[in-house]
Amino acid sequence: MVTLGRAGVAAGALSAPAARAAARRLLIKATLVDLPTAPEQKKIPLFVDYAEEFWIDYSPRWKPSTRTSSRSRIDQLLIPQFGVFPVDMIARSDINRWRDSMAEREGSFNRAIPIMSVMMQYAEKLGYRAKGTNPCRGVSRFKRELPERYLSADEYRRLGSVLACHEFANPFVIPALLMLIYTGARSSEIATLRWRYVQVPRLALPDSKTGPKSIYLNPQAVEVMNGLDRRADDQLVFPAMHREVPINLGEHWIRIRRKAALPDVRLHDLRHSFASVAIAKGVPLATIGKLLGHALPETTARYAHLADDIISESADRICSSLAGALGIAA
């Protein structure tokens, strides 16, 4: 038995129409017991709020260097662009407009769009977006002409002369630069190298741009490492002058390259030049990719044209010799 209220005319008593309405509501409620009901609609967050939820859930699976760069791009590029959008309302047209607005910052867009895509995929898993609605899918990146600069033999000689006589207050500058030249390593890999990673004849890096990586040391690189006093395993091999932080090779390189009359040569060009010398010596592209730590063969393939140039030049020399032997003007 259910009591709806008091009858009569006293204050607070239910009138007959009110009692009947209340009874109908109870009957309807009783009828619907144990029947399936529509699921409660999930509240869709704004992108700015979702970004924090995504970061807490997803970022721990990224390596430290990826977390640092991704956090910066989320804060500086994605939130200013999409922060006020509900996550489920971000459409392909919004992504395309963002792409158009980044025409002067092509590299920034190319590095940020994969992060946005992962965020949209995760939003689908959380139920914030319908399955298969990732607005980044199919959006093309900007095609960029990556600068390629390779040192010639004469430029290597000029650079060697400067390194032989240039003196720095920090004694680790020259050895660190020589390691870049001899190994083709990335500058960040040498600058953050710790002694526990030094396992001659290789450097066993637990984390790099492409994950764990071994850098193979040739005799020249081994000689550089042997010339250093080994410090504690957790200490940097090439620290800054007064603090236990990675050496800033970029600021030192600016002075060295100018003194060597190489003002357009970047630190990363030492890596390109390592690959070009290897190709000139007939080292296969697959081996070069292994030495440089490329995760994908397509990355090494960018140097294939250098091999083609060398083959073409060799063919020219052979044909000239043949033409001379035949007495035909070349």
Tokens representing residue 16 in the block: 């007959």
Q: Residue 161 — very low, low, confident or very high, per pLDDT cuts 50/70/90?
A: very high
**Nearest by Cα to 171 from 110, 238, 118, 262:** 238
Provide mean pLDDT across the span 94-100: 95
Return the CATH class of domain 47-125: mainly alpha
pLDDT in tens, 210-229: 678 889 999 999 999 999 99
Domain ranges (residues) in the chain: 47-125, 153-301
Provide mean pLDDT across the span 71-97: 95
Residues 6+ apart with CB under 8 A from 188: 65, 209, 246
Angle of CA points 150, 204, 200, to nearest 5°: 90
pTM, two decimals, is 0.59
Find the range with the poorest average confidence among 14-23, 278-287, 306-315: 306-315
Q: Which CATH number fits domain 153-301: 1.10.443.10, 3.30.930.10, 2.160.10.10, 3.60.15.10?
A: 1.10.443.10
Query: Would you say residue 328 has pLDDT above 70?
Result: no
Find the range with the poorest average confidence among 17-21, 235-239, 258-262: 17-21
Helix (H, G, I), strand (E, B) or coil at 22: helix
Per the prediction, the chain carries an average pLDDT of 85
How many C-beta atoms surround the C-beta of residue 41 within 10 A? Answer: 6
Cβ(173)–Cβ(165) below 8 Å: no
One-letter amino acid at 147 equals P
Distance CA(117)–CA(139), nearest Å, equals 10
